Structure 1
Amino acid sequence: MSTDLSPVAADLQDERLINNQGLAATATAFWHRLKGGELGSLPVVFGLLMICTVFYMQEPRFLSSFNLVSMLQFAAPVGIIALGIVLVLLLGEIDLSVGSVSGFAAACMAVLVVDHGQSMLVGLLAGIGVGALIGVAYAFLYTKIGVPSFVFSLAGLLAFQGGLLYVLGTNGTVNLPDDSFLVNFARFDFVPESVSYALVVLIVAAYAVTHLVSRRRRTAAGLSNSWLPVVIAKAALMLVGLLWLTWYLNIDRGWGYLWVLFAALVVGLDLLLRKTRWGRYIFAVGGNEEAARRTGIKVTRVYLSVFVGCSTLAALGGLMMAGNLTTVSQSSGTTDTNLTAIAAAVIGGTSLFGGRGSAYSAMLGIIVLQSIQSGLNMLNVDSSVRFMVTGAVLLLAIAIDSVSRKARTSSGRG
């Protein structure tokens, strides 16, 4: 009688967790995660496929390269703002003022550049600085005075909307120079075709190397690893998919620098959240603040970094939106920017209950919302219907989050 004496990974010592490598074992583990409420991005990806299918059947131009490029360009600024919302939602908090902050920062930049003759660099730094200072003020109100985030951000929504009107003055509108760096970057500049293909190869190579290094470290630490063919298959699918999408977008204008900036911010924030101590602290505080405090985490610093990050991203999104529209007006950031940014983060998969979410939630969510808006506009549907559809999608996302949360609790996953 033979006995298997091969070592078992340290995190699989419990006989209930032992899992063999292979396709069947990988599929079984995936199924158990789904049953346990670990849905990940599956609902939003499935929903996006359904949306694209329905609109394409009604209007084939919906999936044209021209429309896809336009969708990405208009989605990027609000997507950057939604990234900040992801951060505060991970802590179980909310910021209702991101739209007003984005408009106020853009107004400060535009007035400095156009009315006071400052360089675009100075204007951009001033706008981003305004956002950072607002985040510091929010953190002080929350950690030192104890004002709930809902209250001070609601006050900020009104205050910075007033600040926007005050900064713009009687003119009410400031047009940015068409030849300025910001306008060219956010509206007219696109990645050259040859460079775009090289970027795709570099991105996939970085993905593969990162996972291989992670596997080596886990093996050295005596921990289990995902099945290597799965990692290879994911990298191959990513390479083929991105190369095809890049070719298709290059039929029109290709990847805009604005979207590339947004994607870089998403990837960078995702790495910070998953691979750094700061990211682990955010999830810990969002999961259980008191437990995090008792383990020695500087909770106040975590809140400070998150509120500053949220407001700074809101300001950056407002600046990019101003460049994309080539103007700053009294309506900048004050229409449905707040609700769209918050809805994008939630629809993309970030939990309202804190402690669960991903930077990619902002990207997926804003693509879903932009797809709905673009498709309904192509069908000449009234804007009232768009708001109702967006509200229904948001409610569905929250319902899925609640159901999956209950499933995680009942399965012991928390």
Structure 2
Amino acid sequence: MIDNDVRSTMTATVALQAMTKRRFSLGGHGGLLIVLLVVIVITAIGSEVFLTAPNLINVLRQVSVMGVIAAGLTVLMISGGIDFSMGSNAVVTMALVAQLVTNGTPTMIAVLVGIIAATVVGLINGLVVTFTRVAPFVATLAAATLLDGLALFILNGMSVSAGPDLSTFGVAELGGIPYLLIAAIVICVALGLTLKYTSFGRDAFAIGGNEDAARLSGIPVAARKITLYALMGLLAGITGVMLLGRLGAASPGTAGLTLELQAVAAVVIGGTSLAGGRGTMIGTALGVILLGVLSNALNLLSISAYIQMMVVGGVLLLAAIANSWRSRR
């Protein structure tokens, strides 16, 4: 009887400790959330503008655009892949849609054409990576260079207006919440639910964990990879439309690779493994918000743009090191 009571007490104690640990770790993102809160507090103390409604709305619009690319990269990196062309694909979509609208094409048709074109680019990336066995890093980086040149060719070195409909979409709000943020939340939630509750999401984790084992277990690895890269193209197209609406014009100065690297940084900071097999949409969302708040904070505190780049690079390096240590444990 005593043994049973002792055993029950020990079991309850262990369960309570595990529950407390889970609460404290906040799903493994407790440290990231603490860093975010520290940055917010420091910036609020250093700048009176930071917590004003216009500034916060501006930050939300910025992170919404990057968040869509980051959400897509989370799914792809969990499967062990990478796509460095998403930002450049988004810029090409911007240029194509802006030119179509300027030449009289109805806005919805122009948007549809741009998103379809971006999806085709993603599909081509998937075919190249899957059937030529070229490393995804090399194939998509080459695609990014080609797409950056294509965007300049489409714009012919000139800024092209987004048109009234897209410009309105970029600044419009619903109950004080920007349309861009609503779109980003819908996409992130949809992808997060896909990862957690569908066979497609489970297959992505399996492929990232061990591609050969996934293939032997009956998962159509090639088909899944092609679908994932096509999905990245689709999300890049949506990002391009969102960015066009936010900026109000497609400009030759928009750097797709820079946007891409920021998204990669957010995904890695959020805890997604570079080797595949691990990652969460919540972590990516926190990473995106942290980078957005950090960038805004550095601007408000009048920190040099050169130092801002160094800070982002430093944060990415620390996140990669933390990821490596976590994987070893």
Q: TM-score over 0.5 for the alignment?
A: yes
Pairing 1:28–2:18 present = yes
Alpha-carbon distance in 1 for matches of 2:117, 2:17: 49
Distance 1:398 1:122, change over 3 A: same
Amino acid at match of 1:186: G
Larger helix fraction of residues: 2
Amino acid at match of 1:173: S
Amino acid at match of 1:63: L
Q: Which residue of 1 aligns with 2:289?
A: 367
Alpha-carbon distance in 2 for matches of 1:256, 1:32: 33
Distance 1:327 1:298, change over 3 A: same
Q: Which residue of 1 aligns with 2:179?
A: 257
The counterpart of 2:139, out of the listed 152, 156, 163, is 152
Gaps of 5+ in 1: 5-14, 193-253, 408-414
Contact 2:75 2:195 in 1 (8 A): no
Amino acid at match of 1:125: L
Q: Deviation at 1:359?
A: 2.0
Q: Deviation at 1:64?
A: 2.3
The counterpart of 1:173, out of the listed 159, 164, 168, is 159
Q: Deviation at 1:396?
A: 1.3
- List per-residue Cα deviations over 1:321-373 (Å, max 9, x = no partner): 11101000112243621211111111122111211112233321121111111
The counterpart of 2:55, out of the listed 67, 71, 74, is 67
Q: How does 1:6-405 map to 2 (within 5 A)?
A: 20=12, 25-31=15-21, 40-115=28-103, 117-170=104-157, 172-177=158-163, 179-180=164-165, 182-187=166-171, 189-192=172-175, 254-334=176-256, 336-405=258-327
Contact 1:83 1:310 in 2 (8 A): no
Contact 2:85 2:257 in 1 (8 A): no
SS at match of 2:50: helix
Alpha-carbon distance in 1 for matches of 2:200, 2:258: 31
Alpha-carbon distance in 2 for matches of 1:176, 1:105: 12
SS at match of 2:139: helix
Contact 1:84 1:311 in 2 (8 A): no
Distance 1:134 1:30, change over 3 A: farther
Q: Deviation at 1:386?
A: 0.7
Contact 1:102 1:333 in 2 (8 A): no
Alpha-carbon distance in 1 for matches of 2:28, 2:48: 30
Alpha-carbon distance in 2 for matches of 1:300, 1:30: 42
Number of matched pairs: 325
Q: Which residue of 2 aligns with 1:233?
A: none
Q: Percent identity?
A: 31
SS at match of 2:218: coil
Alpha-carbon distance in 1 for matches of 2:128, 2:11: 49
Q: Deviation at 1:385?
A: 1.0
Gaps of 5+ in 2: none
Which piece of structure 1 moves more, 354-363 or 158-167? 354-363
Distance 1:100 1:113, change over 3 A: same
Alpha-carbon distance in 1 for matches of 2:84, 2:16: 41
Amino acid at match of 2:21: W
SS at match of 1:60: coil
Contact 1:81 1:314 in 2 (8 A): yes
Contact 1:103 1:332 in 2 (8 A): yes
After TM superposition, the runs of 4+ consecutive aligned structure 1 residues lying more than 6 A away are: 32-35
Q: Deviation at 1:405?
A: 1.0
TM-score normalised by the chain length of structure 1 = 0.74
Amino acid at match of 1:334: G
Alpha-carbon distance in 2 for matches of 1:71, 1:131: 26
SS at match of 2:222: helix
